Amino acid sequence: MKKTSGRLLELLGLMQARVDWTGPELAARLGVTDRTVRNDIARLRELGYPVDATRGRDGHYRLGVGAKLPPLLLDDEEAVAVAVGLRTVTGVAGFEESGGRALAKLEHVLPDRLRRQLVALRDATSAGPVNTDSNVEDPEVDPAVLTEIAGAIRDHRGLRAFYGSTGDDERVELEPYRLVGWQRRWYVVGRDPATGRWAPYRVDWLTLRTPGGRGFTPVPFPGDLTEFVVREVARTGWAVHARIVVDAPADEVLARINPAVGTVEPRSDGSSVLVTGGDSLEVVAVWIGMLGLDFTVESPAALVDHLEVLAERYAGAVAGSAR
């Protein structure tokens, strides 16, 4: 028979992994008698773990709300960070089941205050298409800001904020609808209560103001949320935005790009316009260079200048190479 301390940890793990267990089920999993299970349940209670029990033929044990989780102790921001990470892991092949179990355990044993925050964050979040480009530096997002936005979505409470990345920030007020994690960034999709216009806002560009906005009655989102975010971020969500005329039909361009890169607009002459962007001119130049198609830059002018520099550099490399 296992030592009591090891058996108690295993028992605690079982009760965190599933809501209800009968005594015989626990006894079979632990390889002990029903009496030993009852004694171990009593020991858990003495250690401060609330274990609820019902009697009768359908009797069962259940780990109560607010149980401690030794030896791991998390503060508020750490708990939010772990929950966000676990939610990401559940979308990775091979980790769906284990990540989901870990997230369920974490939510179950936390105090009600923190559990409400994590549930709000989970329920307010969607995942968009993934881009594997590793050249983009991940922006820092304050977990407290994510929690505040998730709570506003849950409680139908407006947000007031300064928005921008250059220091010349504009004042915005929005009715938050959904948080979207996309391209290793966080966006909150919201509706302007004055104009009714929907837009995605980069969370790392938001500085929330207090007090927040007024309460509101949610309005259903008109269309596909992920498609909207991809389209609008390509136009407004980057530090550098570009319009590229490509000498190829839209279908051919779409077949060559990751959906996370941007959107493609067909033109009557058989060419198309790629609306894309990135955090730097270098990143945009790499993306459009990988198309393998002839193109012309409509905007910005700085991208044209950067491509001229690259053209001279590549021409020099070719001229200096041994044939």
pLDDT in tens, 107-150: 776 777 777 777 777 777 766 555 444 444 556 677 788 889 99
Of 138, 134, 141, 212, the C-alpha closest to 179 is: 141
Separation between Cα atoms, residue 237 and residue 158, nearest integer Å? 21
The Cα 125–Cα 178 span in angstroms is: 6
CA-to-CA distance for 202 and 284, rounded, in angstroms? 19
Average pLDDT over the chain, rounded to an integer = 80
| DSSP secondary structure letter of residue 260 | T
**CB neighbourhood size of 295 (10 A):** 19
- Which of 86-100, 133-147, 162-176, 210-224 is predicted with the least confidence, judged by mean pLDDT? 86-100
Residue 193 confidence (pLDDT) above 90: yes
Which residues, 6+ apart, have CB-to-CB distance to 124 below 8 Å? 149, 150, 153, 154, 176, 178, 179
How confident is the model at residue 92, as a pLDDT?
44
Q: Name which of 297, 290, 284 is nearest 240 in CA terms.
A: 284
Q: Which helix (H) or strand (E) holds 230?
A: helix 225-236
For residue 175, is pLDDT > 90?
Answer: yes
pLDDT in the model for residue 68: 52
Average pLDDT of the residues in 80-103 = 64
b/e 239-259 (16+ beta carbons within 10 angstroms → b): ebbbbbbbebebeebeeebee
> How far apart, in whole angstroms, are the C-alpha atoms of residue 267 and residue 239?
26
